[in-house]
Amino acid sequence: MQEFIRTVDTIEAFKFKISVMENELKNCNDKLEDKTKYLNNTVKEYESIKYSGNNEELSAKTYKLFGRLCLFGSVVCFLSLWVVYRNMGFLPEIIPLTAAMLGLLFLSIKCKKKSTYLFGVAQTERLEAEERRRKLSSHIQKLTREINELKATIFQKEQDMNVEKEKYFTHMTNQQELLEKEVHAISNYSNEAKDTKECPQCAETVKAKAKICRFCNYKFEE
């Protein structure tokens, strides 16, 4: 009976340990699923980051080109003024030409400032995009390492659980054989008890059909 109780206790201990291992394995699988989804979303975000300063850069180049044209126009006006003034002296036509030169020079300066500003904006956006991609890349690498570690942990836990289940099945088989032996022994003892009797004089066990005790020669009543 004590062997049977110990067997039941051992079986319950095995079941409890396997149940705990299954719960730990389930938690690891849930974490792996969550981290995998997070990694996929992070990769999508990383791939969606694009340099958004193309419009500013194109506008800056346009302003720069227009500023150079204005500067070239102002130089042409200045040379024209110099030729006219040298050959013909001061004429009323010089005034609008001078105004045109100053206007073109002013536009050239404004275009240069605008171009410099837009190039700065484009450069800032490029640096911000690169910094964001760098941070996401580092985060992706970290998530990948954590996922690989989780996979290794899950694999090890599965191996440990399989070993524990194998022990459990082996234990069950051994206990089944032990119980069968105990039942067989009890059955044999019961059969032997039916075929014997106790001598009332010396308390020794003799055959049930014996008429005289072989130990003390006591005569049994018929």
Structural class in CATH, domain 2-196? mainly alpha
Residues of the chain with pLDDT under 50: 1-6
Q: CA torsion 182→185→186→189, rounded to 10°?
A: -160
What are the φ and ψ backbone dihedral angles of 212, each rounded to 5 degrees?
-130, 135
Are the beta carbons of 172 and 11 closer than 8 angstroms? yes
What pLDDT is recorded for position 213? 84
Query: Taking the domains of the chain in order of start, what are their residue ranges?
Result: 2-196
CA distance 43 to 48: 9
Q: Is 161 exposed, middle or buried (0-12, 13-18, 19+ CB in 10 A)?
A: middle
What gap in Å lies between CA 111 and CA 125, rounded to an integer?
Answer: 21
pLDDT tens-digit readout, 90-131: 667 677 878 888 888 899 999 989 888 888 888 888 888 888
- Give this prediction's pTM: 0.53
